[in-house]
Structure 1
């Protein structure tokens, strides 16, 4: 019995020690969790900066934020409270301006941005800008589509960094959002932004705090819109026009080649317009000149297709009018198509690869046209300078003698008598 009692006491001691150890560990873990939940900022890979010291209220009263590095030394902090999303962007700063834009497709045109700077008098400024286009005149101050609430945006500097803080009010939670980041070392003059010195676009996921490159189906459609447009209006249709002008001596081969090539080019042009309309419906990018010229060129192309089916016969009195209409409408379509390709590249911020490639293509076509035009001119000049070695009177205008006696010949050389034979 004594041995059994001793084993019972040992067992109780072991169980008690385990329970005590569990309770102590639970208290330690709970204390650590409480300490973590009360921390000011969940910094992650960001710098541990107490921005509450220099930012005005209500931004200094935010209990916690999520922070993620987004570009170089740029850091994006945000927090959600109901329908309100508070965003704080920090970036290196000495002079100039720093901006963060919200885009539908990662493009500058059509986006809205918050831009902060410190003027030459040391006063911090922050404004919303609507980026209607790429030109300076198309960057409009105090306009934009950001759902700002009534809390004023704020800008502050801390050492060699600037902080741009603002709040967005939206009933729909922010998810994956294309973000534009840019800066310039020149201060805005009368609220006119100078051209950025560097920029980037990323996809920021406000639901998870992750970032990634801008790569979605809208970007693919935009790229396809450009490629198909350059191939159709910049290559195929000009080649078809060259065949019709300089290879008519290869009849009827030139006609069949011209017809087939122009139909293929028209299909490419139609696909370009359809892709452009899909982009417009999806992102509502405001590029009226590019859109209007594209529709105008499509109308000219449709008229050219109709001209093919309404072509009069060669001996028709309307054939000359049709020839003038067909040739000049075609030239107008090619000219405005080339102009629209340039406008599209400018609006999309195309890189040097696009510009060099299209410039090379246009140069090749222009050189080919010049060479063929010179050859055609020389050939026409050569035909006009040929000597008239043999002149015949037109039929019905020969002056034959009428006073000859019957049975005589007007040409003595060929005159014969019966004595010869």
Structure 2
């Protein structure tokens, strides 16, 4: 590692602080801001469309508890229940934040396709005595309500829509976008893969965030242990790559189950994996020490490795944030990163001090 790289890695704190938008996911903890029974841990969860996420549970009395979340800046967000997947004749629950900052949730009957035919406080949905709730938390709005049915709800046509225009006197403007889906409330496949997410995070942190930095530290600061430093460096880096690769495989499996909208995290993960593969290839193509191209190989190998470590640290911190992993993960990785940065700072200072003394020493005869 050089001073230039040390400067880059120290800017990580600034990069992390820029990643504080609370992106909702099925792993988010609702107990901190939603009232009971909408904050129960047994809610099934499934991403639906765009940023829309549907959480639900159904009891033996055919009461369906629903929490719908979506990214929100203004306007309204709604979910409709339809017999045929069409708007006309369906009933919808619509939530929004009024101009005075007050939260609203109302039932609407969609008698026609024009705004004047969307009637507030009418519809065929039977609510319970549990008061519905609308909460704006972070960049997301949450609509929570209960519906009573005469029989268990299984396959149901659902409508999802939103508009950026805030309703005036509960009058809804035309939606900006909409979709219709057939949803199976009885399916057992919507349970959230918590363990797979933990495995993904643990493998990536241990591989990219612990082993690879240790291997790089050994390569730069332990050259006096020749050739032991080289074997330790190779073994640790290969182990780090294997753990990181396993974490990537777990991440792919997690994405196939959730289809979460985490494009930046996925893109950085792919980029880091490519850099890791290039480092492995570079090891097998390493020229001899007396080769004319060895210095170019050294330059390539060192800077690709530094780039990998830098983006791995950023992506781990970003993944902990968007995955809503909790404070224990943030504190744990923060301690790990702090220890590594302090070790690099101390060792780099000692190395430059040694070089300075050697440069200032008088020639020997």
Place the TM-score, normalised by the shorter chain, in its bin.
0.5 to 0.7
Q: How does 1:224-263 map to 2 (within 5 A)?
A: 224-263=199-238
Which residue in the other structure is 2:281 paired with?
306
CA distance in 2, matches of 1:166, 1:160: 9
Asked if 1:366 is matched to 2:353, the reply is no
Q: Distance in 2 between matches of 1:146 and 1:375?
A: 68
Q: 1:83 maps to which residue?
A: none
1:153 aligns with 2:153: no
**Are 1:130 and 2:70 an aligned pair?**
yes
Q: Equivalent of 1:318, from 293, 296, 315?
A: 293
| Residue in 1 that maps onto 2:154 | 173
Alignment of 1:377-388 (within 5 A): 377-388=352-363
Q: Is the 8 A contact 2:212 2:241 kept in 1?
A: yes
State the alpha-carbon separation in 2 of the partners of residues 235 and 339 from structure 1. 13
Displacement after TM superposition at 1:277 (Å): 0.6
CA contact (8 A) 2:204 2:316 kept: yes
The answer to whether the 8 Å contact 1:293/1:336 transfers is: yes
Q: Tell me if structure 1 keeps the 8 A contact 2:203–2:247.
A: yes
How far the C-alpha of 1:104 sits from its partner, in A, is 2.4
Report 1:14-413 matches (<5 A).
74=36, 103-104=45-46, 111-112=53-54, 130-131=70-71, 142=77, 150=87, 151-154=90-93, 155=106, 161-162=131-132, 164=145, 173=154, 190=166, 218-390=193-365
Q: Is 1:237–1:334's contact at 8 Å kept on the other side of the alignment?
A: yes
Given that 2:209 and 2:312 are in contact with CA atoms closer than 8 Å, whether structure 1 keeps it comes out as: yes
Q: What's the CA shift string for 1:41-95, capped at 9, x where partnerless?
A: xxxxxxxxxxxxxxxxxxxxxxxxxxxxxx996458xxxxxxxxxxxxxx9xxxx
CA–CA separation in structure 1 for the residues paired with 2:80 and 2:304: 41
Cα deviations by residue, 1:298-328 (Å, 9 ceiling, x for unpaired): 0000000000000001111111110010000
The structure whose RCO (Cα within 8 Å, separation 6+) is larger is 2
Question: What's the CA shift string for 1:243-290, capped at 9, x where partnerless?
Answer: 011111111001000000000000011011101111111111111000
Equivalent residue of 1:103, what SS? strand
When the two structures are aligned, how many residues end up with a matched partner?
247
- CA distance in 1: counterparts of 2:288 and 2:299, whole angstroms: 15
Contact 2:212 2:309 in 1 (8 A): yes
Q: Retained in 2: the 8 A contact 1:266–1:301?
A: yes
Tell me how far 1:149 sits from its aligned partner. 5.8
Q: What 5-or-longer segments of structure 2 have no aligned partner? A: 1-32, 57-66, 94-105, 108-120, 122-127, 134-144, 157-163, 168-183
* Per-residue deviation, residues 374-412 of structure 1 (Å, max 9, x unmatched): 11011111111212242xxxxxxxxxxxxxxxxxxxxxx
Query: How far has the Cα of 1:359 moved from its partner?
Result: 0.5
| Deviation of 1:161 (Å) | 3.4
Hey, which bits of structure 1, 4+ residues long, moved more than 6 A? 143-148, 156-160, 165-168
Rounded to whole Å, the distance in 2 between the matches of 1:256 and 1:140 is: 61
The secondary structure found in structure 1 opposite 2:70 is strand
Give the match's secondary structure for 1:315: coil
TM-score (norm 1): 0.50
Where does structure 1 lack aligned partners over 5 or more consecutive residues?
Answer: 1-70, 77-90, 92-100, 115-126, 176-187, 192-204, 209-213, 391-421
Measured in 2, the distance between the counterparts of 1:167 and 1:159 equals 10
RMSD of aligned Cα (Å): 4.3
